[in-house]
Amino acid sequence: MQKKFKSISESQLTITELMLPSHSNFSGKIHGGHILNLMDQIAFACASKHSENYCVTASVNKVDFLNPIEVGELVTLKASINYTGRTSMVVGLRVESENIRTGEKKHCNSSYFTMVAKDENGKSTPIPGIILKSKHEIRRFARSITRQSEGKNRTSRFSSKAFKTEDYIHLLEKSNSKIELN
């Protein structure tokens, strides 16, 4: 069986939604949870379009809310496949808001969702690879590989078996904490 590959542009998606009062918190800003829900939806759609299968969210890598989103603004979410493994892929997301009256656009956040393709029995299933056509696409693919290896290293360093208090106690010296070891 010959391996299948797809160009990144074949799976890219953009959605735009008007932010309504029902999406806001008590201060009149849009709930972060609402934006996360939209991000998960577009990541699912992008990954499913690429893999031609149902996909599930395996992890979300860092979501920083850079700018608040106001009621009445348009929010645009852009999704693109950055990396493909055997059954998983990293979907890069960018969220921007636009003030309808002024046309001012703000970058609100970017994130990376790792999605896994599932077959009709709920088992992880192989996906097409991606065709990298530019240095920018190669950079994003390489960045995903690096982020994965750094994440694995971070997890193992802080496992209960590997963690050594003496190696990290200095980090707490100026923190808002009080240590009372038994």
Between CA 17 and CA 173 the distance in angstroms is 46
Picking from 3, 2, 6, the residue whose alpha carbon sits closest to that of residue 133 is: 6
pLDDT of 105 > 90? The answer is: yes
Residue 130 CA neighbour count, 13 Å, CB half: 28
Tokens for 134, please give them: 């530019």
Amino acid identity at 165: T
The predicted pLDDT at position 133 comes to: 96
Q: pLDDT tens across 40-91, in order? A: 999 999 999 999 999 999 999 889 999 999 999 999 999 999 999 999 999 9
The predicted pLDDT at position 1 comes to: 60
Average pLDDT over residues 129-133: 96
Burial class of residue 124 in the structure, from the number of CB atoms within 10 Å of its CB (0-12 exposed, 13-18 middle, 19+ buried): middle
Q: Of all helices (H) and strands (E), which one includes residue 145? A: helix 135-157
Rounded to the nearest angstrom, the gap between the alpha carbon of residue 52 and the centroid of all alpha carbons in its chain is 20
This prediction has a pTM of: 0.87
pLDDT of 103 > 80? The answer is: yes
Measured CA angle at 21 (ends 17, 25), to 5 deg:
105
Q: pLDDT tens across 144-169, in order? A: 999 888 777 666 777 888 888 888 88
Tokens for 53, please give them: 């299968």
Between residues 32 and 162, the one the model is more confident about: 32
Instruction: Please report, rounded to a whole number, the percentage of residues in the chain having pLDDT higher than 70.
Output: 97
pLDDT of 2 > 80? The answer is: no
